[in-house]
Structure 1
Amino acid sequence: AASLLAAMPTGDWEAKQVLQHQPVKFAAMEGHFHTEDGAGLIILGQPNLQELKIDNPIIIPKALSFLTHASWDARVKGLTEYDRDLWPDNIELLYFSYHIMAGLGTLFIALMGISLVLVLKGKLHTSRFILWLLMLSLPFPFIANTAGWFTTEIGRQPWLIYGLMKTADGASNNISQGNVMFTLLGFMGLYLLLSVLYFFLATRIIGQGPELLNSTESVSKGGEV
């Protein structure tokens, strides 16, 4: 319940911070190419960088203006307002990473809300469909976390320190490409090993099922009552 209440306001606050301090990143991750009064919130679609638009969009009209400025007709600046040299390097990956993170976050809120209602009604443990959804959603937080990390790191490009130092200026001449590659591969290998270990332990514990109470203890406790 606490997570359900915290998810929406914290996500809203963080998005407004990005808009205030990293407006180019905000426009790119929202797929908002052109400045617009009463801007709509893009739910789905594919970025088209040749024509600077979203193909096959599903949009909630004026929702982006309301969420960012608390006004249905507020102006939201698009990417074309900024020098193209300041755009993130991979807008497509940034856009999809952000929407995966936001979409999964919305799913989490919905699942928690439904589960809370079922708990209050005493029906959660008999709702097989929801229990299956909860079990199948186990990897989703890790996917959302990774997508959020992609959004952060890709979105701040080309800046190492936003607005002060570009990534290209932060490269050290004392570290070779081989050293960087070795470090990256080392981290990838470590995380892969941890992922395999986690998957093995999780499936083993889930396969064992819940622990059963000792029948003799249950009988004795029942007799005492």
Structure 2
Amino acid sequence: KQYLHTMTGAVITGCFTMASIAAFHLLKQQHQDISRRYLSVAVLVGFPASMIAAMPTGDWEAKQVQQHQPVKFAAMEGHFHTEDGAGLVILGQPNLQEMKIDNPIIIPKALSFLTHASWNARVKGLTEYDRDLWPDNIELLYFSYHIMAGLGTLFIALMGISLVLVLKRKLHTSRFILWLLMLSLPFPFIANTAGWFTTEIGRQPWLIYNLMKTADGASNNISQGNVMFTLLGFMGLYLLLSVLYFFLVTRIIGKGPELINQPETETEGVA
């Protein structure tokens, strides 16, 4: 189920990349014909992919987390206290001192329904579990999850509007939507990264869930200097690759699509 959710996210990223590049060329009034075609393909694939990422794959993933990792689920939802008919937090800031969500926007009873298909089902909160089982950074986990979910909702809305315009053959002339599509390029990458933040931060403090803690997996034979050297090395390598990637991709996008001339083949008639 996590594989399906992840692969759907990859498809969404590809579709938004195509749509963003096509919108860029259409706004500059260049490569019009081919840009219209791959913009339409991006939208026709991107809308169902965005829907599938939310339902059913996202729904499956959330229910699986609630069943097998209830502490992680409570933390990422900002659900501090056990409650019958628990509400779904849409916006708000987690307050660990007072064990509540500040400035909340909540859909009443929605969390109970989404997890148990019952409006009045009981959902356990963080305070139900020992503090040493809580994730190390609840605030980052909470915001990562809500950024992912919020952007996923935005993807559905933007691709849905674009699909309607494609069917009406008006998308290539709707400059406002084209601007939104062009500027949306980084959002799928942010959503995917936030999703993996949710996965990896949420499974803490466990290296192997319920069997081995991360602290127990550290080796006494590796010094802090070795760890820092390796970390800085990887960061430097990824920074270099990111700069090269950005340079090459922006150059290719600015140049536009190249049409490959097919060689003409001569056919001989049969006497």
TM-score, normalised with respect to structure 2: 0.74
Q: 1:153 to 1:216 in 2, by over 3 A?
A: closer
Q: CA deviation at 1:114?
A: 1.6
Q: CA deviation at 1:187?
A: 1.9
Deviates more, 1:106-115 or 1:38-47: 106-115
Could you tell me which runs of 5 or more consecutive residues in structure 2 were left unpaired when the two chains were aligned.
Answer: 1-48
Q: CA deviation at 1:85?
A: 0.9
* Cα distance between partner residues in 2 of 1:40 and 1:22: 19
Q: Is the 8 A contact 2:93 2:103 kept in 1?
A: yes
Aligned to 2:187: 140
Q: CA deviation at 1:184?
A: 1.7
Q: 1:127 to 1:219 in 2, by over 3 A?
A: farther
**Count of aligned pairs:** 223
* Cα distance between partner residues in 2 of 1:130 and 1:219: 46
* Cα distance between partner residues in 1 of 2:158 and 2:235: 31
Q: Spell out structure 1 runs of 4+ moving beyond 4 A.
A: 209-221
Deviations 1:161-212 (A, max 9, x none): 0100011111111222222222222222222222222222232233334568
Q: 1:224 to 1:82 in 2, by over 3 A?
A: farther
Q: Is the 8 A contact 1:4 1:112 kept in 2?
A: no
Q: 1:213 to 1:117 in 2, by over 3 A?
A: farther
Aligned to 1:46: 93
Q: 1:191 to 1:8 in 2, by over 3 A?
A: farther
Q: Is the 8 A contact 2:50 2:155 kept in 1?
A: no
Percent identity (aligned): 91
Q: 1:218 to 1:201 in 2, by over 3 A?
A: farther
Could you tell me which runs of 5 or more consecutive residues in structure 1 were left unpaired when the two chains were aligned.
Answer: none
SS of residue in 2 equivalent to 1:217: coil
* Cα distance between partner residues in 2 of 1:53 and 1:224: 85
Deviates more, 1:117-126 or 1:27-36: 117-126
* Cα distance between partner residues in 2 of 1:218 and 1:128: 42
Q: CA deviation at 1:9?
A: 1.0
* Cα distance between partner residues in 2 of 1:219 and 1:37: 77
Q: 1:208 to 1:103 in 2, by over 3 A?
A: same
Aligned to 1:64: 111
SS of residue in 2 equivalent to 1:24: helix
Deviates more, 1:209-218 or 1:187-196: 209-218
Q: CA deviation at 1:5?
A: 3.6
* Cα distance between partner residues in 1 of 2:234 and 2:224: 16
* Cα distance between partner residues in 2 of 1:219 and 1:54: 73
Higher relative contact order (CA 8 A, sep 6+): 2
Deviates more, 1:4-13 or 1:53-62: 4-13
SS of residue in 2 equivalent to 1:34: coil
Q: CA deviation at 1:27?
A: 0.2
Q: 1:165 to 1:213 in 2, by over 3 A?
A: closer
Are residues 1:212 and 2:255 paired?
A: no
TM-score, normalised with respect to structure 1: 0.89
Aligned to 1:189: 236
Q: Is the 8 A contact 1:29 1:95 kept in 2?
A: yes
Are residues 1:224 and 2:270 paired?
A: yes
* Cα distance between partner residues in 1 of 2:82 and 2:109: 13
Deviations 1:36-63 (A, max 9, x none): 1111110111110000000000111111
Q: CA deviation at 1:147?
A: 1.1
Deviations 1:125-176 (A, max 9, x none): 1111111111111011111111111111111111100100011111111222
Q: CA deviation at 1:93?
A: 0.8
Q: Is the 8 A contact 1:4 1:113 kept in 2?
A: no
SS of residue in 1 equivalent to 2:249: helix
Q: CA deviation at 1:102?
A: 1.0
* Cα distance between partner residues in 1 of 2:222 and 2:260: 59
